[in-house]
Structure 1
Amino acid sequence: MLEAASAIEAIDLLAHNVQQAQQLVSRLLIDDGWNAIEVDKVVQGWILQGDYLLRSRSSESADFVVGNPPYIRLEDVPEVRMAAYRRSCNTMGGRADIYVGFYEKGLVSLKSDGKLAFICADRWMRNQYGRGLRQLIARQYSMDLALIMHDVDAFEDQVSAYPAITVISNRTQGTAIAADTRRSFSSAQAHEFASWTTSSNDQYVDTETYHAARLPHWFAGDDSWPSASPARLAMLEELSQRYQLLEDRRTGTRVGIGVATGADKIFITDRADLVETDRLLPLSMVRDTKTGIFEWNGSYLVNPWDSAGNLVDLTNYPRLASYFKRHASVLRKRHIAIKQPSRWYKTIDKVDPHLTAQPKLLLPDMKMTIHPVLDEGGYYPHHNLYFIVSDSWDLRVLGGLMLSKVAEAFVEAYAVKMRGGTLRFQAQYLRKIRVPNQDDIDESTCNALREAFEKRDSSAATEAALRAYGLDHLPD
């Protein structure tokens, strides 16, 4: 019996929790026939009081780490302890939750092929404060299972914790299972699901209480991991293996954002005679894209940049100088002007002198559905618009792909949804989209994509995109 004394180690910060756990386990062992005299020594070796995040422990000592780490924002921890946690856990950057540290400490304690299984909030998979943990896992571990349980009462007390069960192994990344549960998921279905994970070779399972898919491996990198149904995650992973990213130097395809000024009321005007003509740059705005056909409403950027990308000398532009000086008190208060007082009249972003003439697909930042609109050239985008330019793509064909639900699925999986289901079509999410090589898309499919884009027909665009991607259907 005493040989078992070092087989298990459980740690709690609070003394009364430790005492209650020791008493409970002692009763269970005695009821199971263990020697009552030796039970106390064993249990005291198993269940200890201490701070798991600060406790020194040799690495690679555990076969299994199992837990439900506490959810406490780091800024709610006393300052001295918070500083100690940050020193002890490299992944606890920014405004982290301390459960991030529990993941790190648990992972580094695993033996080769050891496994960590936590039930914990899943926000770290997507939030900024989870980046360090995602990076650690992507570099050194295998994400084996992510079982999302948002609608399930996973705990005795009802809490809003967005729980998920994650299993992570100390080995190179292998196959992974993505799974999601429905409200009626219970312990019986949990046993059924566990049996499927170990005894079935099926790629997919879809029951009334859960659905799951096997992926060839988990998503790489420390960027936000996607969130979608298991079947859709499997599709996205398959497309990620087969196709190139939208932004690609080989095709000269680039994703960017329009100009931020720091003072739109001063830098944006609809007056064509406000300053010197060559200091007014036609500006595309979100309102110009509403119908799906680019219709310029007459906005200009009061442009302080020359064709070489340098700030103009105001002495050469008396009307521009007079205009900026009338608004100098506002312009000089901007953070960027305080940092660079001699350049007080600059916009936050430089104007790219080559972008105006380029044809470009424009995408408003916030929309319910993806909304690419073609600017054939001549306008510079405002910072509420993202753009796609390319040296090799027919932008109407690419526009058809972007209009499709396939492209939207990539953004939807990675983007943070706002209230009402509004999506953010920001550059970081658009760059997640995978696209086929245009030369590999047959002529009839190219024509179908082009026609769907010109007619603003999302259904036809999706049908053509499925052919281009070699898909039978788009999973729910």
Structure 2
Amino acid sequence: MGRRGLVADRGRVATPPDLAFYMVEKLFRGAPPGGGSRVLDAGCGLGVFIDAVLRWCRGRCAELPEVVGVEVDPALAEAARRRFAGERVRIVRGDFLLMSAGELGGLFDYVIGNPPYVSYEYIDPPKRELYKRLFTTAVGRFDLYMLFFEKALSLLKPGGRLVFVTPEKYLYVLSAVALRRLLASYRVEEVELIREDAFGGVLAYPAVTVVVKEAPSLTTIRLRDGRAARVALPRDGSPWLSAIATAKLRTPYSLGDLVLRISPGVATGRDDVFVIPKRALSKELEPFAYPTVGGRELSAFAPGSVVDYDKLAHVILIPYDRGGRLLDEGEAKPLLDYLSRWRRVLESRYAVRAEGKRWYAFHEDPPMGDLLRPKILWRDIAKEPAFYIDAKGLLIPKHTVYYLVPKDPGMLPRLAEYLNSAEAKRWLMEHCQRAANGYLRLQTHVLRQLPVPPEVVGEGHGLGRV
């Protein structure tokens, strides 16, 4: 990345591990790998992307895919082999641009990399002529990284995903007309101009490009100043910056900017004890009871609607005060008298045995101060995102239901409407991990990143970004 200091090492600059992991998250966004998946690291060096793939999978207890790294430098290839000995990783030494799919074991579901940035004048003349015969993108004063795009796409299965970090110059230089035309024939999911110091002391204006090998659609462009837009890229090879310049760029909030908390519901460790049918609630237990809802029951309501407590069949018994303090045995005597019949079961929980919690405490102490606020609810795993409103703030969700508490309660209806919009659903479908049968995992770290348009927030909101 960047020309300064690159000539001696054929344009190679090591990718920082944090950037590599960030790119792997984009690579697997909405389409996590399985045991039968194949991942290609084009120009692997010592294997920073391979390591990031393995860390990503292990961090999510996901089955490891087959990973193939290609490296032209014999010393680096051998070092990578030693580094990943015993892993499901194969390192192939050779010129990536001249390798066939057969030599690499077939086509790939994913390709990732930081191709070498070698400008035209530093490519050996015989190689230049060879590349011109082999690649449609080798026109004019082409750079080597441009050919990596074309080669990688040829090795990608239909529907496969490619993520490269390269100079941003291909967005506008004349020599990249053929490359832009090629890329625009597929779905360029995202182009993000990342910070100029992403590679430390190297002078670079890098872009992370995400391409899916399927029919074209709108592209998300993210600029360094935080503005973003969805644009239709020109298909004729003309500079993409013109499409960006005419787009309605905006600085969205992220959902994390607007909320006090995004969390899963309470974890009691024994819902079969603490959650009881509403019809079985005695007068003595009423002071400790709150309406509760699980994922299946929540789905009975229309998306965007206010949850009607009267239609809920269960309540949850809470041995905590409204500030989240565990009640002492005198304060909670009626509740503890009831719970005592299951005391042995409750004492067998890990939180009691290993963490020293009181026998009637929850597995995790509930943040009652946030829970008892107006909030938005959703299922943790769902075929399609759907969000619901707890307008009064008295509902205690079970652990299979996530919730968010907005900083401004007045924003609740607008925010719920946006979360159920086609725009938000599309973003979530693209970014959420997949569970079994293609269901979405609507997790905290993903929801926090969801862009929220300024018009949803409203004027004079007084909310600081976090």
Identify the residue that residue 191 of structure 2 maps to in structure 1: 215
Larger mean CA deviation between 372-381 and 311-320 belongs to: 311-320
Tell me whether 1:288 sits opposite 2:289 in the alignment. Answer: no
For the 8 Å contact 1:180–1:229, the answer to whether it is kept is no
Output the CA distance in 2 between the equivalents of 1:99 and 1:295: 51
> Would you say 1:436 and 2:421 are equivalent positions?
no
Q: 1:166 aligns with which of 102, 110, 113?
A: 113
Aligned to 2:353, what secondary structure does the other structure show?
helix
Structure 1 match to 2:407: 391
Q: Structure 2: how far apart are the matches of 1:394 and 1:202?
A: 47
Cα deviation, 1:9-51, whole Å, max 9, x if unaligned, reads: xxxxxxxxxxxxxxxxxxxxxxxxxxxxxxxxxxxxxxxxxxx
The one of 224, 237, 254 equivalent to 2:222 is 237
2:323 alignment counterpart: 308
Q: Do residues 346 (structure 1) and 358 (structure 2) align?
A: no
Indicate how the Cα distance of structure 1 residues 285 and 304 shifts in structure 2: closer, same or farther if over 3 A, else same. Answer: same
Counterpart check, 1:407 vs 2:424: yes
Give SS of 1:321's match: helix
Change (3 A) 1:267 1:246: same
**Normalization by structure 2: what TM-score?**
0.53
| Contact residue 363 and residue 373 of structure 1 kept, 8 A | yes
CA distance in 2, matches of 1:295, 1:367: 21
Matched, 1:272 2:287: no
Task: Using the TM superposition, give the Cα deviation of residue 257 of structure 1 relative to its aligned residue in structure 2, in angstroms.
Answer: 1.9
Tell me which of 379, 383, 401 is aligned to 1:364.
379
**Whole-angstrom CA distance in 2 between matches of 1:209 and 1:369:** 29
Indicate the residue corresponding to 1:322 in structure 2. 337
- Deviation track 1:226-262 (CA, whole Å, cap 9, x = no partner) reads 97748779416368642121111xx455322211111
Output aligned runs, 1:27-426, within 5 Å: 62-63=9-10, 105=46, 123=53, 127=57, 129=59, 154-156=101-103, 158=105, 162-167=109-114, 183=157, 199-200=175-176, 205=181, 210-212=186-188, 215-218=191-194, 229=212, 234-235=219-220, 237=222, 241=228, 242-248=251-257, 251-270=258-277, 271-273=280-282, 276-286=285-295, 287-292=297-302, 293=305, 294-296=307-309, 297-377=312-392, 378-392=394-408, 393-426=410-443
Larger Rg belongs to: 1
Cross-structure match for 1:45: none
Residues 1:245 and 1:124: Cα distance change in structure 2 (over 3 Å): farther
Structure 2 counterpart SS, 1:325: helix
**CA offset at residue 211 of structure 1?**
4.5
Amino acid paired to 2:435: M
In 2, distance between residues paired with 1:163 and 1:121? 15
Structure 2 distance, partners of 1:166, 1:365, is 32
- The CA deviation at 1:273 is 1.5
SS of equivalent residue, structure 1 residue 324: helix
Q: Distance in 1 between matches of 2:350 and 2:39?
A: 33
- Displacement, 1:436? 2.0
The alpha-carbon distance between structure 1 residues 309 and 254, as it changes in their structure 2 partners (threshold 3 A), is closer
Amino acid at match of 1:278: P
Tell me, in whole angstroms, the C-alpha distance in 2 between the residues paired with 1:168 and 1:403.
Answer: 39
Q: Distance in 2 between matches of 1:338 and 1:328?
A: 13
Q: Is the CA contact 1:416–1:424 (under 8 Å) kept in the aligned structure 2?
A: yes
SS in 2 for 1:348: coil
